[in-house]
Amino acid sequence: MSSRNPAPLRSDLSAGDAFSAVLQITRPQNCLITFASVLMGGWLGVHALPAPLWIAAFSATAVMAGGNALNDLWDLETDRVNHPHRPLPSNRLSTRAAGIECVVLMALGLGLSLFLTPEAIATAAFACVCLVAYNRRLKHVPLAGNLAVSLLCGTAFFYGGFAAGAPVPAAVPALFATIYHLGREILKDAQDIPGDRIAPGGTLPLCWGPARSCRVAAGAYALLILLTPVPYFLDLYGLPYLILVSLLDVLLVCLMVSVLRVPDTRRLRRINRFLKAGMMLGLVAILAGTL
């Protein structure tokens, strides 16, 4: 991690631009998905949205936002190549400001968890430790970093379940989210090969090559497609779930075909945008299937 921006902050930044940079580094779309995942995880158990569940959703969102800021701090050098438009490499935000933002948000998220169950507190603490370990070391250990992030995304559902006092129904979306994010994280690493070459260690695409890594990601989505109808046949979710998740499966099949052709960086970015939309479709499918 670089301790400071080597170039000065841009002098043309307005207060609105500065606020935009502070917000952008948290990756609001990812935070929104985390917020919805926690609510979903708790709602599946109690079919209600009690106050502790809302606290858990805001807690997880704060931890996720802080973790994203930490990620950009540690990835500053590689982001100069892979994502030069982000707040730090574009000199719209200083590393000092990003560091303060990271600490405040993660402390807020952990602090909010103290109003929840002991299991939820332990989950929040685990998430914070895992995010630090990921950014400090696991990110550049082939597959280990991908698995760490994927498990954290799945854990969001259990966090909501723990907060609501009914974690078992969260197991299905947690499993699906873990597999889904595993494939996406591998594809994001394939997209970031140019900048990751200058970082210590190596991601899966750097060690195995983009073609083999893309096949691993496609394999994860193939497994997910096979598993998605199971909750319907086990009578866990209703027909609306099956209809909507089938649409998601069609999207995944189309993306798998593109992935197996070993797309270039531009196409990988487009694929990842579709995958992000697919997350929301998956959440809507589960919600519709349980109403």
Residue 4 lies in a domain: no
- pLDDT tens digits, one per residue of 251-278: 999 999 988 886 677 888 889 889 999 9
Residue 51 lies in a domain: yes
Residue 9 lies in a domain: no
Residue/partner pairs of 222-229 with CB below 8 Å, 24 or more apart? 222/256, 223/179, 224/176, 224/179, 224/180, 224/183, 224/252, 225/249, 225/252, 225/253, 227/175, 227/176, 227/179, 228/176
Residue 13 lies in a domain: no
Q: Give burial (CB, 10 Å; 0-12/13-18/19+) of 32.
A: middle
The residues, any chain, with a CB within 8 Å of residue 259's CB and separated by 6 or more, are 187, 214, 217, 218, 271
Supply the range of the domain harboring residue 278: 20-290
Structural domain count of the chain: 1
The residues, any chain, with a CB within 8 Å of residue 28's CB and separated by 6 or more, are none
Residue 267 lies in a domain: yes
Residue 11 lies in a domain: no
The reported pLDDT for the residue numbered 8 is 60
Read off the pLDDT of each residue in 122-133 and give the average, rounded to a whole number: 95
For the domain that residue 164 is a member of, what is the CATH number? 1.10.357.140
Read off the pLDDT of each residue in 6-23 and give the average, rounded to a whole number: 73
- pLDDT tens digits, one per residue of 170-209: 999 999 999 999 999 999 988 888 877 777 667 888 888 8
Rounded to an integer, what distance in angstroms lies between the CA atom of residue 268 and that of residue 73?
23
Residue 205 lies in a domain: yes
Residue 10 lies in a domain: no
